[in-house]
A = this chain, B = another copy of it.
Amino acid sequence: MKNIRIGIIGFGTVGRGVVKNLQRNLAVFRRHFGVPVELAKIADKDLKTDRGINIPQGMLISDAEEIVNDKSIDIVVELIGGIEPAMSLIKKALSNGKSVVTANKALLAEKGEELFKHAGLHNREIFFEASVGGGIPIIKGLREGLAANRIFSIYAIINGTTNYILSRMKEEKISFKDALKSAKDEGYAEADPRLDISGMDSAHKIVLLSSIASGKWIKLNEVYSEGIEKVDQIDIEYAKELGFVIKLLAVYKEKNNAIEVRVNPTMVGDKGMLAAVTGAYNAILLEGDFVGNILYYGLGAGEKPTASAVVSDILDISRNIISGKSRPFIPDFPNREKKIIGIGEIRSKYYFRFTVLDRTGVLSKIAGVLGDNKISISSVIQKGRNKGNAVPIVVLTHKAYERDMRDAIDIIDKMDVTKGKTVVYRVGGF
C-alpha cells in the first residue's frame, strides 16, 4: 500500500503546530497503521517568513491549487480560515477524491450542509475536531464516545477570548474596556476582536455542536446571539453577591423535539464546574439520557492544542482510508422531526437590574408589571438609598418566557420613575 500523503493549506500558527507534530510522530503513525503517513506539501502565500522549523526544500509552495489537484495527496488540511477561497479549495479537494481536515468553524457553520453533502457525493470525509474547543476532543466525544446518548443539553464556554476578558473583569474589578485592552496586549484577543466579543465565534461553534447533537443542520441565522460588550462591573459584583459568575455561554437544549440554540452572557452558579473555568480555557458541559452530565475542559485555541486536534483527525482519516470505509457526519437519531424555537419561546430565570428613582412604591410598581407578564420574583436586592435620585434595584426571577420578559421590560423602561435601560441576564440552572 502506498503512503498516506498530507497536504497542508495555510502555514500560520496552527499550520506550524501541525507540521511540528507530524514531523515528530511519523514513526508512531507508521507503527499504528502499518503504513507511513507522509507530509507531502504545504501551501502558503508567504514563502519567506521563518517559522522556526526545518522543512525539505520545495515542500513549501505558494499555490494551494497545486495541493488540491495533486493526485498523490490523500488528505488536505485546510487552515486558512474564512469562506473563500477555503470553500472552493475544500470542494475541489473532495471532488478530486481527497478527504479534508479543517479548523474552519465559520465556513462549516455557514456552508456545512453543502460541504458535507458534497463530501458524501464523493464518498469522502470532512473532519473538524479543531473547529470547536481547540484541543478538546468534543466532536469525537459527541460522534463516538457518547454516540449511545440522546443529548438533552449543551452548555459551552467555547470562546477563550471572552472568557479571559470576563475572568479579568471579575478578578481585578476592571471595566470591559480595560480587560479587552489587557487581552489584546497579552495576545488573548485579536487586533479586531469583534468576531469573539460579539458572540459570533461562539455561535459558529454551537451551530456545529448542535447539528451533531440534534442530527439536524442548525442554520446560523437561527441562533440568537449576544456578546459581552455590555457586561458591566456592577453586574459582576451583584452576581457575586447572589452566588453567580457571568460567563458567555453557548447553549443547546432539546425537549420534545423543540430545539433552542443561543449564545449570551449568563449567570451560572459559583459552586459549579462552569464557574471554575477561568482564563482562556474552554469547557463543554453536556447532558445525555444515559451518560448524565459530562464535562470536557481544556485549551480552546493556540498553536499546540489546535494541532493536537488536527493531527488526531489525520489519524482517524488515515485509519478510514486504510480500511476503505468512511463514517457519516450526523449521528442521525430517529427523532428528526425537530423545530428550532424562537428566542421568545425560551424559558429561563432572569436577573434584572433596574435603574429607578428612589421613591416609595417604585418596587411595587415593577413587581406589578412583572406579575402582569407572568414573571414571579425570587429575590430582590435594594441598597444605597439616594432619595429622589436614580438607584439600582436588582431582581432575580423564577422561570418565565423570554417574550413575557421582553414585554415587561419594555413597559418598565418607559415608566416615569425609570432612569436607565434595564439590564437583563439569563440565569443558568446548574
Proximity string of chain A (138-161) to chain B, C-beta cutoff 8 Å, 1 when within and 0 when not? 001100111111000000000000
Residues in A67-98 with C-beta less than 8 Å from chain B: none
Contact between A290 and B135 (Cβ–Cβ < 8 Å)? Answer: yes
Quick check: A148 and B312 within 8 Å, CB to CB?
yes
| Contacts known (A28-B334, A272-B276); A291 close to B145, Cβ less than 8 A | no
Residue A288 is within 8 A (CB to CB) of chain B in the complex: yes
Kindly state the separation between the CA atoms of A319 and B325 in the bound complex, as whole angstroms.
9
In Å, the complex CA distance between A144 and B299 comes to 18
Neighbouring B residues of A388 by C-beta, 8 Å: none
Q: Which residues on B sit within 8 Å (CB–CB) of A141?
A: 137, 140-141, 145
Contact A307/B325 with A147-B312, A273-B276, A334-B28 known, Cβ cut-off 8 Å: no
Which residues of chain B have C-beta atoms less than 8 A from A289's C-beta? Answer: 304
Q: Restricting to A130-188, which residues have a CB under 8 Å from any CB of B?
A: 135-137, 140-141, 144-149
Instruction: State which size class the interface on A falls in.
Output: 35 or more
A17 touches B332 (CB 8 A): no
User: What chain B residues lie within 8 Å of A312 (beta carbons)?
Assistant: 144-148
Cα-based distance from A331 to B33 in the complex (angstroms): 11
- Nearest to A322 among chain B residues (CB) is B325
- Decide yes or no whether A27 CB sits under 8 A from chain B: yes
Q: Are A291 and B308 neighbours in the complex by a CB distance under 8 Å?
A: yes
Q: How far is the CB of A126 from chain B (nearest CB, A)?
A: 17
Contact call A291/B298, Cβ cutoff below 8 A: yes
Smallest CB gap from A325: residue in B: B323
Most B-side CB within 10 Å, residue of A141, A277, A294: A294
A250 interface residue (CB < 8 Å to B): no
Bound together, the chains give a CA A292 to CA B17 distance in angstroms of: 13
Which residue of the partner chain, among B32, B275, B307, B332, contacts A32 with CB atoms under 8 Å?
Answer: B332
Least Cβ–Cβ distance between A364 and chain B, in angstroms: 39
Residues of B within 8 A of A295 (CB): 295-298
Chain B residues with Cβ under 8 A from A332's Cβ?
28, 31-32
Contact of A333 among B21, B28, B311 (CB under 8 A): B28
**Which residues of chain B are near A302, meaning CB under 8 Å?**
292
Within 8 A of B (CB), among A308-327: 308-309, 311-312, 315-316, 319-320, 322-325, 327
A379 proximal to B (CB < 8 A): no
Find out whether the CB atom of B297 lies under 8 angstroms from the CB atom of A294: yes
* Contact with A148, one of B292, B299, B315, B334 (Cβ below 8 angstroms): B315
Interface string of A330-347 (1 = CB under 8 A from B): 011110000000000000
A257 within 8 A of B: no
**Does the CB pair B328–A292 fall under 8 Å?**
no
A7 in the interface, Cβ–Cβ < 8 Å?
no
Q: Which of B149, B304, B322, B328 contacts A291 (CB 8 A)?
A: B304
Question: Are B311 and A148 within 8 A (Cβ)?
Answer: yes
User: Of B291, B307, B323, which contacts A305 at CB under 8 A?
Assistant: B291
CB distance from A27 to the nearest CB of B (A): 6
Complex contacts, A309 vs chain B, CB 8 Å = 145
Q: Does A358 contact B (CB under 8 A)?
A: no
Cα–Cα, bound, A307→B291 (Å): 8
Task: Write 15 A-B pairs (CB below 8 A) sorted by A numbering.
Answer: A21-B290, A135-B288, A140-B145, A141-B141, A145-B309, A148-B307, A148-B312, A272-B276, A273-B273, A275-B276, A289-B304, A290-B305, A294-B298, A296-B296, A297-B297
Q: A32-B332, A147-B311, A273-B273 are in contact. List 14 more A-B contacts (CB 8 A).
A: A136-B294, A137-B141, A140-B140, A141-B145, A145-B312, A148-B307, A148-B312, A275-B276, A276-B276, A290-B304, A291-B304, A292-B304, A322-B325, A323-B324
